[in-house]
Structure 1
Amino acid sequence: MKNIMLMISASTVLSVSSCSNYLDTEPIKETTVESTGKVIATAAEGESRMTSIYASFGGEYWQLDYFFNGDAQTDNSYAGSDNTQNFQQDEYRILSTNTNVSRDWGYIYDNINKCNFILNYIDEAKDLPAARKEEMIGEASLVRALNLFHAVQLWGDVPIATKAVVNVNQDNFDEVYPQLYPTRKPKAEVYAAIIADCETAIQKAPASTYKFRANKGAANALLAKVYATKDNPDWGKVKQYCDAVLAGGYTLLANYDNLFDTAHEGNSESIWEANGEGWGSPIGAWGTSMFYGTDWKKFMTPSNDLIQTFANEGDVVREKSSIIRKEVSWTDNYWASANYPFAYKMRITDGKQNFYLLRLADIMLIKAEALAQTEDIEGAMALVNQVRARVELPKISAANKANALDLILKERKMELAFEGHRWFDLKRTGKAIEILSKQKDGNGVILPYAGNLNQNRLLWPVPQTKKDANPNLTQNPGY
């Protein structure tokens, strides 16, 4: 017989009277414990927990918000569709009551909590081979690191959740209180936790050939991005982990469009990808319909600026793979209905669209940035030109460090459009306000909301619903 064990508040530690989540905050969750007293008693239960971790990539954060947050808040795209919460994001006027922000906090910490069940309790599964336990710890560590990396980039200081609490009583309340009512930790501590999880994954996760699972190559790649993103980047570490990736046997696909057509899943450029397996599978890739199709106005409408950037560079190959035009029944302030653009990298509508969490070109350009930052301009541009050669663009050179960094940032804009990177790239490089405050429409007029962006708006507000539920959470400046 299973007994339901509940996460409860201080006022109900001694008497459980409801199965509801009293605090409505993360990472507090409800779970079940076998009659043995173990959270994960068998190998089957452990594997089920692992499946739930990967199924999170079929959820709303990774299918929709991951892409929208990374591109629609930038010069790559407009909000599109008709959701007022998304317009707040696009126009840098987010409120602490924004439901997209609240749900993303919830999704991220729910994903982390799923990882914590494995990390805290997988050793209880006595019929699970030790080698598989170690592998699962490596996988869960990397997925937890990935989610926490997104959290710290979105909100700055954030809670570090490491325990999946399954019971609260007089004896353990002091121990579990920090998980029930977490405080925000300084970014330096958050990055240290992310790095520690990645290092665990390097030791224990599956080999790099397992591209649909959290793997060693992905741990190296994520570490490279983490060291490039944290305050006071460590460019030596960035180069170290980029080199570990580059030594892993990855190669750029010869045909750029093959990256997105689902006929080349798990390809030589892929480091880690979410594996859409159709409806009814753990990852039924429904998110494609949010960006592509003429049945209703879609999210993440390509911007005039991005299309002009492709045109200025003569980048026909990447534009064709990134944007498709259709006749639609609606009009807006940006595009005519007869030739309306859609983001096109997510294009397969049968639930089988894969998408990349990490791929080689991203890491090559991160290494190029590290080389430029350490004054190896020639080496930096050699990597940029490898990426450009794949899409039949001529070689370019940089006059100095600043010029090289600008060229690398523009290359990332074209190479990684609609893959969820641009907002974080602009913030990481300190270029967000400079570039986004000058966004223009198709007539060359500065967009009316471009001036809304300021230093405070580079971070999201802590959701008001979470603050109401947890008195230990503080708010970001400006909200």
Structure 2
Amino acid sequence: MKINKAIYYLFGASILMTSISCNDFLDTEPITEDAVSIENPLNTKDDADKRMNAIYTAFGNEYWQLDYFFNGDAQTEVSYAGADNVQNFQQDEYRILSTNPNIERDWKYLYGFINNSNMILNYVDEIKDPALTSARKAEMKSEAAIFRALYYFHAVQLWGEVPLITKAVIGVNADNFDEVYNQVYPARKSVQEVYELIISDLENAIANAPAENEKYRANKNLAYGLLAKAYATKPNPDWAKVKQYASNISGVSLLPIYDQLFDGNHEANAESIFEADGNAGTVWAWGASMFYGTDWKKFNVPTNDLVKTFNDEGDTQRLNATVKFSAVSWSDKYWTDNSHYPFMYKMRKTDGTQNFYILRYADIILLQAEAAVKMGDFTGAAAYINQVRARVGLTPISISSETDGMQKVLKERKLELAFEGHRWFDLKRTGTTISILSQQKDETGNVLPYASNINQNRLLWPIPQGRRDNNQNLTQNPGY
């Protein structure tokens, strides 16, 4: 059976471009009226190594260097948008449009990352090159599965229902036409289905994943940590599973001095579970200059609320490691004293060598505290929180109820993890986004004008209009 030439017009070149991005679907030119050749895109060990390298060097692109930190904190009471980008102001003030280019590019980035993972998962086993051993193939597939789970975890938290692309489409013929169509023009899947894939990928990856001490690779501890987070975040959380997988993490411990986490002298440290490697040149960490420096107004300006939370707690160690005050030449409606202007300080090396954490142990300890609270173990939950507080010289806390416990977990996560991309997702997971963010205040204690914009619909981003224009099977989220 021969497929109509017009169909290949739509599929041809876009199919072949999927090694770059599986979302450039309609940027097409006809290449033949016959079927597009389907050949394994990975033929040698070098091909596989290059594809794996592409997965890791992705941590040097705009999603990880800028957007991840902005999405996680500027949408919360931890930071203002900063800088002068009107698209970022939409995010900060809960008035995102479906045409916002930041939303479009993050969708494209995430599905491009997923496509790279799919290339390994789909095709590495077919490589006949004897230089690529079976053991290394299995390890590569584990790393790719962990990364695919990571990126779907980001996507489902940002957009809710999203397409599940599990095949890197490289060609089309009569036999695979239906499969290719569904991969190139996918419909959204339920949140439950997305979490099922995330959990399956992670659980299947553990056996052959790199060892726990491989801090710059998708290792067993990262898989365990993401499983704990997924089980805490999915619909109807399973707190026993959270506890189980968090407890499986091994070979890590808190650093004795909090500032050592960010001073640039303790890469791949005992607390790190997985980090992006800027110091050895795996990625060029240009993003630090987006957040720190007095040459222009930076992104993620610390809020008055965050600084007040540190000061009220007497938490000088974490304040000094998290926020840096300097004199600046510009004016700001949120910080009127430009002789004492705050910057996000955890990304402080602006020479391109800044490492940054994707997951570290303190995050997991506080997730264990959350699970303990939800399971009614208030004494155990307080003990977890107090481990983190003891490092920075703060007095122990106790917990009297679930409500009290969740408030203390959230406050501790705010103090411990500010500017590491977690706050928006923490608030969403705990169902506190609207109650907390609708009460954001300025330096005089007045509620910020845009705080009233936050509502249930704004907890999910819009599906990018450009994606919907290219794919009629994509529905829109409510309120957009």
When residues 119 and 17 of structure 1 are mapped into structure 2, their CA distance, relative to the original with a 3 A threshold, is closer
Deviation string 1:239-291 (CA, Å, 9 cap, x unpaired) is 0001111xx1211000101111121111110001111146xx44100000000
Q: Would you say 1:443 and 2:447 are equivalent positions?
A: no
Structure 1 segment 189-208 matched on structure 2, within 5 A: 189-208=193-212
Q: Would you say 1:147 and 2:151 are equivalent positions?
A: yes
Distance in 2 between residues matched to 1:9 and 1:470, nearest whole Å: 17
Mapped contact 1:270–1:356 kept (Cα < 8 A): yes
**Partner of 1:357: helix, strand, or coil?**
strand
Structure 1 segment 114-263 matched on structure 2, within 5 A: 114-127=116-129, 128-245=132-249, 248-263=250-265
The aligned amino acid for 1:234 is D
Distance in 2 between residues matched to 1:223 and 1:265, nearest whole Å: 24
Mapped contact 1:285–1:354 kept (Cα < 8 A): yes
Structure 1 consecutive aligned stretches of length 4 or more whose deviation exceeds 4 Å: 13-21, 27-30
State the partner residue of 1:83: 85
The aligned amino acid for 1:102 is E
When residues 177 and 307 of structure 1 are mapped into structure 2, their CA distance, relative to the original with a 3 A threshold, is same
State the partner residue of 1:292: 292
Mapped contact 2:81–2:89 kept (Cα < 8 A): yes
State the partner residue of 1:368: 369
Identity of aligned pairs, percent? Answer: 59
Distance in 1 between residues matched to 2:301 and 2:39, nearest whole Å: 51
State the partner residue of 1:65: 67
Q: Would you say 1:50 and 2:57 are equivalent positions?
A: no
Deviation string 1:174-222 (CA, Å, 9 cap, x unpaired) is 1211111011000000000000111122122111110100000110000
Deviation string 1:344-381 (CA, Å, 9 cap, x unpaired) is 00011121111111110000000100001011000000
**Partner of 1:62: helix, strand, or coil?**
helix
Mapped contact 2:215–2:272 kept (Cα < 8 A): yes
Alignment gaps of 5+ in structure 2: 28-36
| Alpha-carbon offset, residue 29 of structure 1 | 10
Mapped contact 2:22–2:112 kept (Cα < 8 A): no
The aligned amino acid for 2:87 is Q
The aligned amino acid for 1:472 is N
State the partner residue of 1:387: 388
Q: Would you say 1:10 and 2:7 are equivalent positions?
A: yes
Distance in 2 between residues matched to 1:17 and 1:233, nearest whole Å: 39
Distance in 2 between residues matched to 1:434 and 1:345, nearest whole Å: 28
Deviation string 1:437-471 (CA, Å, 9 cap, x unpaired) is 00000000000000000000000000000000000
**Partner of 1:87: helix, strand, or coil?**
helix
State the partner residue of 1:40: 42
**Partner of 1:338: helix, strand, or coil?**
coil
Compute the TM-score of the two structures, normalised by the length of structure 1: 0.93
When residues 119 and 18 of structure 1 are mapped into structure 2, their CA distance, relative to the original with a 3 A threshold, is closer
| Alpha-carbon offset, residue 11 of structure 1 | 5.3
| Alpha-carbon offset, residue 15 of structure 1 | 6.8
Count of aligned residue pairs for this structure pair: 462
| Alpha-carbon offset, residue 26 of structure 1 | 2.3
Deviation string 1:15-59 (CA, Å, 9 cap, x unpaired) is 7699888xx9628599xxxx9943100001100000000011111
State the partner residue of 2:304: 304
Mapped contact 1:159–1:183 kept (Cα < 8 A): yes
**Partner of 2:228: helix, strand, or coil?**
helix
Bigger mean CA deviation after superposition, 398-407 or 69-78:
398-407
State the partner residue of 2:325: 325
**CA RMSD of superposed structures (Å):** 2.0
Distance in 2 between residues matched to 1:14 and 1:459, nearest whole Å: 31
State the partner residue of 2:23: 26
The aligned amino acid for 1:12 is Y
When residues 18 and 395 of structure 1 are mapped into structure 2, their CA distance, relative to the original with a 3 A threshold, is closer
The aligned amino acid for 1:327 is A
Distance in 2 between residues matched to 1:353 and 1:65, nearest whole Å: 16
**Partner of 1:449: helix, strand, or coil?**
helix
| Alpha-carbon offset, residue 170 of structure 1 | 2.9
When residues 28 and 431 of structure 1 are mapped into structure 2, their CA distance, relative to the original with a 3 A threshold, is same
Mapped contact 1:27–1:110 kept (Cα < 8 A): no
**Partner of 2:339: helix, strand, or coil?**
helix
Distance in 1 between residues matched to 2:455 and 2:6, nearest whole Å: 38
**Partner of 2:449: helix, strand, or coil?**
coil
Alignment gaps of 5+ in structure 1: 1-7
**Partner of 1:92: helix, strand, or coil?**
coil
When residues 435 and 317 of structure 1 are mapped into structure 2, their CA distance, relative to the original with a 3 A threshold, is same
